[in-house]
A and B are shown apart, each in its own frame.
Chain A
Amino acid sequence: MDLQIALLLAQDGIVNGAIYALLALALVLVFAVTRVIFIPQGEFVAYGALTLASFQIGQTPGTLWLLMVLGVAVAALDAPALWRQGCRAGPKIYGLIGRQIAYPLVIAALVLGAQPKEWPMLLQVLLALAVVVPLGPQLYRVAYQPIAEAPVLILLIVSVALHLALVGLGLLFFGAEGSRTPAFSDASLEVGGLTISGQSLWVVGASLVLIVALYVFFERSLYGKALRATAINRAGARLMGISTTLAGKLSFLLAAAIGALSGILIAPLTTIYYDTGFLVGLKGFVGAIVGGLASYPVAAAGALLVGLLEAFSSFHASAFKEVIVFTLIIPVLVWRSLTTRHVEEEE
């Protein structure tokens, strides 16, 4: 292996690592706020990429129907409680219907009536996000909110069940064939004999922008601070008037947005299948575990490490690259189990 190849692999590793880092951040966020280990994160990656690909070939993505069905389900779940509040709940009912019934119908009208195939790419991306991102809070409402206080283990099993259902739906919506979308830009950069593709720069750039945006959100905005408060102490946050339900939905919204955007960013670099997201998400997971599901910077660094390790092992032992990546968590677990003194959490 000469320097040229090493640089190429490093570039590959950094690009993938940036995506894993984004996913790791989302996983840490969701776990800290809701105690949910969000296995279905990867499905948002696949749904984002494949929804965009569907628009580009002029098909109607199945995620649109999911958005409508879940909208009806959420409305049906939330309506009785609002109904009992009587006339005071009027504006809330309109809000509910607006978000869960009217919004999906508007999006459906756009997709079916306005020929997104002909749109510029940026608008296609926005439309894909508009379809996929609301699925996050909808799924939180339907699958997690009724058992928000359950032990972590139960929440984890729900996550795995949801993952399985979403993968099956992915197969139903998009079929078994993979898709690849055109690059955001065809430009490429020549640095010291190394060609860096425009898409790579897009991925790394977008990841950095997102990470900074998340930082600003958590440090500067009221909602960000509310999420942090919920992560530190659920009961305490509730006493301060922060709705843990709202915090849960908000964290799922962010996770879904990060997942879908990650999928859209990598779709031009690799072929995405309905079940690709799971492995991509799990690699983000390995990064998050490196950070102990608690520290954002360590999780991001861990994810970058996963990306590099994957790139180099795909060169040396490509058949075993998944084995090598997932074995990485063993030394991490050794280190964590040697340094952690177990203190029981009171559930």
Chain B
Amino acid sequence: MTSRHLLIVFVVLLGLGPLVLPEFYITLLNYIGLYALVALGLVLLTGVGGLTSFGQAAFVGLGAYATAALTTATDLPAWLLPLANPWGGLLAGLLVTAAVALLLGVLTLRLSGHYLPLGTIAWGISLYFLFGNLQFLGGHTGISGIPTLSIAGIELRDGRHYYYLIWAVLLAAVWLTHNLLDSRAGRAIRALKGGVVMAEAMGVDTARTKTIIFLIAALFACLSGWLYAHLQRFVNPTPFGLHIGIEYLFMAVIGGAAYVWGALVGAALITVLKQWLQDLLPQLFGATGNFEVIAFGLLMIVVLHRARDGLWPWLVRWLPEKSALAERHRDAPPLPRRPVPAVGSPLLEVKDAIKQFGGLVANDHMSLHVNAGEILALIGPNGAGKSTFFNLVTGVNPPTAGEVRFMGERVDGHTSRMIARMGMSRTFQHVRLLAGMTVLENVALGAHMRGKHGVPAAMLHLEREEEHCLLAEAARHCQRVGLGEHLQDAAGSLPLGKQRIVEIARALAADPCLLLLDEPAAGLRFMEKQALAELLKQLRAEGMGILLVEHDMEFVMDLADRVVVMEFGKKIAEGLPHAVQSDPAVIEAYLGGVE
């Protein structure tokens, strides 16, 4: 029995439910479905993307109120009349939700992580009071008399009818989300957790990606609200308040925020628990009130202390093993490559670059150039400013003054994503891989810029051809750097030296013409170092330019065509490896002067 069989059994059981279950359980399952749809959006946003929102209930409210207002209004202006039905209500709700989500996203997503949740708290409260105080939305009493839905001529009259619609929508949403995560766009979303600098260096537009997942989460919530309004046929502000928004987040986190099925588990658990506690606690305490929040709050704290990944990974242990990923991509055709610059032509030219942090001059009038088909080593004692120089060249921290040219074009002031697109790839001194993703997926992230298909195609898996090409390309680079046997291993499970090699494969997958390597040989054993040196020599022979920061002198001196030595942010020597080695200034920098 495989996971697929289990899924079929689950769907069949769901389908049989209304035929055997009493009304009470149908209602409960309907609510679980509606809540799980919202929680699913939060899985994408919080568990996968590392952002969060406490305002999802307000988006549910937008969906519910949009259709409620349009289908019950009696004196609509003529231009709105075509929308005065449930489908028009759905469209209007989705549009309004998209507009609000985009606005909130643009406002908060460029700021550090906690501004989005804080913004959504404020937004959740505002919308709640707005619903309660706008007379045309019925104020605190709400809107009643919302019509039922009719689909293909069949009127959905009671909970049993809605049951099928709700669960079909939910399963479709699960399918779409699942597809999305298993794609180029999905890798970009998962890269958000690896930090903005890494994701941007791979060519991922992080601001746009964050906005997109926030938008998807909001639209799922809106859809849930639309279903809710037609199921209940009545709306008032209560279910759209901030506390319900918080409950949605709890569902996602307790179920397992990083897993699509976690949303379902969490929604089911919280809904059933709430039902039970709402009966039990008031009796226990001898007073009426929403005492279940005490239990939810405490449960949540315990889960975050003890099992931050939620219940799903714990449940999965009882499920059959996933069958190994089929290598569908093996025969995919290679991706087109960018034209290779002629050997000897200038790739990178830096002139008098200065980088200041306040009063500290980290790079002082640095100049160097790298040509196609050569290896330039940048060496110097710790703290000499080599990593600052890397950041300055790659656009992470633009220079305070001076000029950086890449492929003949001025790039100082360009973002790191633009520079990466022009064909400059890098590795990081402190390895920045996505530890939970496989080696193959990590390397495929490097090929991000070589694909085109976006989120809609990914959700429907219409981009499989391109995806296979990307994975095939990634697999080829893994083979080339000697990671062939680790394709399906989690990147975090490899030893540090191998993780550095994964970074090199990832950089190569972008098809660069200039490669920037930050201490690639650190942590490698002798044989591995030799293999790495061979690889770099091969790449040089193919016409690639390589800028190398490294402390291992033997490695550098055997490999580099030229060497630049830095100390205290300045270039103190430049030349052929052996000339530099006997330079008195360099010897003084490394070994200290003769007193």
Where the two chains meet, the residues of A that have a C-beta atom closer than 8 Å to any C-beta of B are 37, 143, 146-147, 150-154, 156-158, 160-169, 171-172, 175-176, 279, 282, 285-286, 289, 293, 319-320, 322-323, 326-327, 329-330, 333-334, 336-337, 340, 342, 344-345
Query: What's the least CB distance linking B208 to chain A, in Å?
Result: 14
A169 neighbours in B (Cβ, 8 Å): 294
**Given the complex of chains A and B, what is the CA–CA distance between A151 and B193 in angstroms?**
11
Please tell me which stretch of B125-133, B165-173, B346-354, B376-384 contacts chain A, meaning at least 4 of its Cβ atoms lie within 8 angstroms of it. B125-133
Interface bits B279-311 vs A (CB < 8 Å: 1, else 0): 000000101011111101110110011001000
B111's partner among A147, A342, A345 (CB-CB below 8 A) is A342
B119 neighbours in A (Cβ, 8 Å): 329, 333
The answer on a CB contact under 8 Å between B110 and A337 is yes
**Given the complex of chains A and B, what is the CA–CA distance between A52 and B475 in angstroms?**
68
**Given the complex of chains A and B, what is the CA–CA distance between A20 and B94 in angstroms?**
37
B304 neighbours in A (Cβ, 8 Å): 147, 150, 154, 157-158, 161
The answer on a CB contact under 8 Å between A161 and B296 is yes
A157 neighbours in B (Cβ, 8 Å): 52, 249, 253, 300, 304
**Given the complex of chains A and B, what is the CA–CA distance between A7 and B533 in angstroms?**
78
A289 neighbours in B (Cβ, 8 Å): 115, 118
Does B112 reach chain A (CB closer than 8 Å)?
yes
Q: A164-B293, A176-B289 are in contact. Are A345 and B115 (CB under 8 A)?
A: no
Does B407 reach chain A (CB closer than 8 Å)?
no
7 contacts between A and B (CB under 8 A): A153-B114, A157-B253, A164-B246, A164-B293, A165-B293, A171-B289, A172-B285
**Given the complex of chains A and B, what is the CA–CA distance between A78 and B67 in angstroms?**
55
Q: A160-B249, A342-B111, A344-B195 are in contact. Are A147 and B289 (CB under 8 A)?
A: no
Does B50 reach chain A (CB closer than 8 Å)?
yes
**Given the complex of chains A and B, what is the CA–CA distance between A171 and B289 in angstroms?**
7
B246 neighbours in A (Cβ, 8 Å): 160, 164
The answer on a CB contact under 8 Å between B297 and A163 is yes
Residue of B nearest to A319 (CB): B133
Residue of A nearest to B129 (CB): A322
Query: What's the least CB distance linking B430 to chain A, in Å?
Result: 8
Query: What's the least CB distance linking A160 to chain B, in Å?
Result: 5
Q: Which of B50, B290, B293 has the most CB of A within 10 A?
A: B293
Residues of B105-123 at the interface with A, using a CB-CB cut-off of 8 Å, are 106-108, 110-115, 117-119, 121-123
Residue of A nearest to B54 (CB): A160
The answer on a CB contact under 8 Å between B294 and A333 is no
Q: A160-B54, A171-B289, A285-B118 are in contact. Are A342 and B110 (CB under 8 A)?
A: yes
The answer on a CB contact under 8 Å between B122 and A329 is yes
Q: A161-B300, A329-B119, A337-B111 are in contact. Are A168 and B293 (CB under 8 A)?
A: yes
Q: Which of A165, A167, A176 has the most CB of B within 10 A?
A: A165
For the complex of A and B, 8 pairs with smallest distance between CB atoms: A165-B297, A168-B294, A161-B300, A168-B293, A164-B297, A319-B133, A326-B122, A161-B297
B123 neighbours in A (Cβ, 8 Å): 326
B437 neighbours in A (Cβ, 8 Å): none
A282's partner among B114, B125, B133 (CB-CB below 8 A) is B125
Residue of B nearest to A345 (CB): B112
The answer on a CB contact under 8 Å between A152 and B301 is no
The answer on a CB contact under 8 Å between B50 and A171 is no
Q: A282-B121, A282-B122, A329-B119 are in contact. Are A162 and B297 (CB under 8 A)?
A: yes
A329 neighbours in B (Cβ, 8 Å): 118-119, 122
B9 neighbours in A (Cβ, 8 Å): none
Range, interface on chain B = 35 or more
Query: What's the least CB distance linking A257 to chain B, in Å?
Result: 23
**Given the complex of chains A and B, what is the CA–CA distance between A322 and B133 in angstroms?**
11
A323 neighbours in B (Cβ, 8 Å): 126, 129-130, 133
**Given the complex of chains A and B, what is the CA–CA distance between A166 and B295 in angstroms?**
10
Query: What's the least CB distance linking A59 to chain B, in Å?
Result: 14
The answer on a CB contact under 8 Å between A162 and B196 is no
B292 neighbours in A (Cβ, 8 Å): 168
Interface bits B187-226 vs A (CB < 8 Å: 1, else 0): 0000000011100000000000000000000000000000
The answer on a CB contact under 8 Å between A172 and B107 is no
Does B243 reach chain A (CB closer than 8 Å)?
yes
A165 neighbours in B (Cβ, 8 Å): 293-294, 296-298, 301
**Given the complex of chains A and B, what is the CA–CA distance between A323 and B130 in angstroms?**
7
**Given the complex of chains A and B, what is the CA–CA distance between A146 and B302 in angstroms?**
11
Residue of A nearest to B122 (CB): A326
Where the two chains meet, the residues of B that have a C-beta atom closer than 8 Å to any C-beta of A are 46, 50-52, 54, 106-108, 110-115, 117-119, 121-123, 125-126, 129-130, 133, 195-197, 243, 246, 249-250, 253, 285, 287, 289-294, 296-298, 300-301, 304-305, 308
Q: A323-B129, A336-B111, A342-B196 are in contact. Are A153 and B289 (CB under 8 A)?
A: no
Query: What's the least CB distance linking A186 to chain B, in Å?
Result: 35
Residue of A nearest to B111 (CB): A337
B243 neighbours in A (Cβ, 8 Å): 164
B290's partner among A154, A168, A279 (CB-CB below 8 A) is A168
Query: What's the least CB distance linking B53 to chain A, in Å?
Result: 11
The answer on a CB contact under 8 Å between B112 and A342 is yes
B195 neighbours in A (Cβ, 8 Å): 344
The answer on a CB contact under 8 Å between B108 and A337 is yes
The answer on a CB contact under 8 Å between B107 and A322 is no
The answer on a CB contact under 8 Å between B301 and A143 is yes
Residue of B nearest to A279 (CB): B125
A172 neighbours in B (Cβ, 8 Å): 285, 287, 289, 291, 294
Residue of A nearest to B106 (CB): A337
**Given the complex of chains A and B, what is the CA–CA distance between A172 and B291 in angstroms?**
7
B308's partner among A154, A279, A293, A336 (CB-CB below 8 A) is A154
B296 neighbours in A (Cβ, 8 Å): 161, 164-165
**Given the complex of chains A and B, what is the CA–CA distance between A286 and B300 in angstroms?**
26
**Given the complex of chains A and B, what is the CA–CA distance between A175 and B287 in angstroms?**
8
A153 neighbours in B (Cβ, 8 Å): 46, 50-52, 113-114, 117
**Given the complex of chains A and B, what is the CA–CA distance between A176 and B51 in angstroms?**
35
The answer on a CB contact under 8 Å between A337 and B130 is no
The answer on a CB contact under 8 Å between A152 and B114 is yes
The answer on a CB contact under 8 Å between A344 and B126 is no
Q: Which of B46, B51, B290, B300 has the most CB of A within 10 A?
A: B300
Q: A163-B297, A172-B287, A282-B121 are in contact. Are A146 and B253 (CB under 8 A)?
A: no
A285 neighbours in B (Cβ, 8 Å): 118
**Given the complex of chains A and B, what is the CA–CA distance between A164 and B305 in angstroms?**
17
**Given the complex of chains A and B, what is the CA–CA distance between A270 and B298 in angstroms?**
30
Residue of A nearest to B118 (CB): A289
A162 neighbours in B (Cβ, 8 Å): 297, 301
**Given the complex of chains A and B, what is the CA–CA distance between A182 and B243 in angstroms?**
32
Q: A156-B117, A168-B291, A282-B121 are in contact. Are A320 and B308 (CB under 8 A)?
A: no
B133 neighbours in A (Cβ, 8 Å): 319-320, 323
**Given the complex of chains A and B, what is the CA–CA distance between A289 and B118 in angstroms?**
9
Not counting A167-B293, A171-B290, A322-B126, a sample of 16 additional A-B residue pairs whose C-beta atoms are within 8 angstroms of each other reads A146-B305, A151-B113, A154-B308, A156-B52, A158-B300, A161-B304, A165-B293, A168-B297, A171-B291, A279-B125, A320-B130, A326-B125, A333-B119, A336-B111, A337-B111, A345-B112
A326's partner among B113, B126, B297 (CB-CB below 8 A) is B126
A286 neighbours in B (Cβ, 8 Å): 122
**Given the complex of chains A and B, what is the CA–CA distance between A166 and B114 in angstroms?**
22
A293 neighbours in B (Cβ, 8 Å): 114
Residue of A nearest to B133 (CB): A319
**Given the complex of chains A and B, what is the CA–CA distance between A168 and B52 in angstroms?**
23
B113 neighbours in A (Cβ, 8 Å): 151-153
**Given the complex of chains A and B, what is the CA–CA distance between A160 and B54 in angstroms?**
9
The answer on a CB contact under 8 Å between A327 and B291 is no
A344's partner among B111, B196, B297 (CB-CB below 8 A) is B196
B285 neighbours in A (Cβ, 8 Å): 172
**Given the complex of chains A and B, what is the CA–CA distance between A340 and B115 in angstroms?**
13
Residue of A nearest to B193 (CB): A151
Query: What's the least CB distance linking B370 to chain A, in Å?
Result: 26
Query: What's the least CB distance linking B37 to chain A, in Å?
Result: 21
Query: What's the least CB distance linking B296 to chain A, in Å?
Result: 6
**Given the complex of chains A and B, what is the CA–CA distance between A207 and B251 in angstroms?**
40
